[in-house]
Each structure stands twice: as structure tokens, then as C-alpha cells.
Amino acid sequence: MRHVKWLEPSFHFPLDERDATVDVHNQHQHRLDLRGVSGAFRQGLLTMLQQLAECDAKAARRAWATAQKRWRAW
């Protein structure tokens, strides 16, 4: 077995019962609603957004606020 070293940043999303509840509710309603997720999950998403979109913390928080105000159907 060969060893692979991951050079890109990795993201950890710790899930607790609140996150699991929001996930099940979103699946049941066929929508994406970010209200109700835990702070740790929110921080993971904000960190990922900052690194992938190459934006600053203020822009990431502004995007989170916009996404949290409305839900998206999928």
C-alpha cells in the first residue's frame, strides 16, 4: 500500500445533533436552510469559503448572512 500525502488544506465539519437535525429537515423539505446549524459547523463553512473563494472574513460573514436570510429549493 502506498502512502499519499495530502498537500491541500483539509476541512473538518464536526456534526452534533443540531447539525444532524437541520440536515434531516432540509432533506425532508427538499431545501437548503442554514439556520440552526452549530457554531463549529458555521466556522468550518466560513473557513472553507475564505480559502476556496479567496475572500476576506468580512465578505465571508456577509455571504453567510445573505444565505441565512433565505432558503434555497433544490
Residues 37-63 pLDDT 10s:
888 888 988 998 898 888 999 999 998
> What is the pLDDT at residue 72?
65
Which structural domain range is residue 68 located in?
A: 37-74
- CA atoms of 39 and 36, how far apart (whole Å): 9
The pTM of this model reads 0.69
Q: How many domains are contained in the chain?
A: 1
Q: Does residue 74 carry a pLDDT above 90?
A: no
- CA atoms of 66 and 70, how far apart (whole Å): 7
Furthest C-alpha separation in the chain: 48
The x, y and z cell numbers of residue 47, run together, are 473557513
Q: Looking at the domain assignment, is residue 47 inside a domain? A: yes
Q: Looking at the domain assignment, is residue 5 inside a domain? A: no
Q: Looking at the domain assignment, is residue 65 inside a domain? A: yes
pLDDT tens for each residue of 18-42: 888 888 888 888 888 888 888 888 8
> What is the pLDDT at residue 50?
92
